[in-house]
Amino acid sequence: MTRIMVVEDDENLRIALAAKLRTPDVEVDACGDIKTADPALRENNYDCVVFDRMLPDGDAIDYVHARRREGWHAPVLFLTARDALADRVAGFEHGGDDYLVKPFAMAELAERVANLCRRAGIFRPTVLSHTDLVMDCARREVRRAGALLTLTNKEFAVLEYLLTRAGRTVGRADLIEHCWDEQTDPMSNVVDATVRRLRRKLREPELIHAVRGVGYRLGTP
């Protein structure tokens, strides 16, 4: 599952950007300032982050420059009305991967973001495995004991997240945060319902174990 963050203080544009980028395979989080976005940017592995440069609490290139010095590698696309050559150069010098001047075409933005997401995917493992379960992330295929399984996008995302943390307990809130977007009600039963379906499809012997009051763990049969 691809995950994108949009940081834009213009509410109408922020909503429009999120709607354009969101698909069944792409989750989009959106914030209006750096302070609100920062905890999510530190917690989650985003495939691309779209920053408006001039935000209420500062110039986004300063934030990105500081995070790059900490070793942060998420691809960044800057949006700005500042179209001078010096501004564009500064964006790249401070850690930006792409730069798009306002006004812009939504179709172009979507293609630029998709390109950055593909680039980010190069550095991810393409195959995850645990006991007799094998997930080919590039082909979006899952096999159990050699048998091909048919999973929905959410089931695939949940299983992928559990596979990357095999043997560790993953909380329901953590699954919602990483496999759904901010519009999902954390009190809903979407996680339990998705895991129930996933367990049925994985068949016996059971690999996904419930940890009472906490969440789920991908363990041994």
Question: How confident is residue 187, by pLDDT bands cut at 50, 70 and 90?
Answer: low
State the pLDDT at residue 181: 63
* CATH numbers and ranges of domains, the chain: 2-121 (3.40.50.2300), 127-218 (1.10.10.10)
CB-count burial class (<10 Å; 0-12, 13-18, 19+) for 38 = middle
pLDDT digit string, tens, across residues 15-71: 999 999 998 878 899 999 999 999 999 888 888 999 999 999 999 999 999 998 887
Q: How many residues does the chain have?
A: 221
State the pLDDT at residue 124: 57
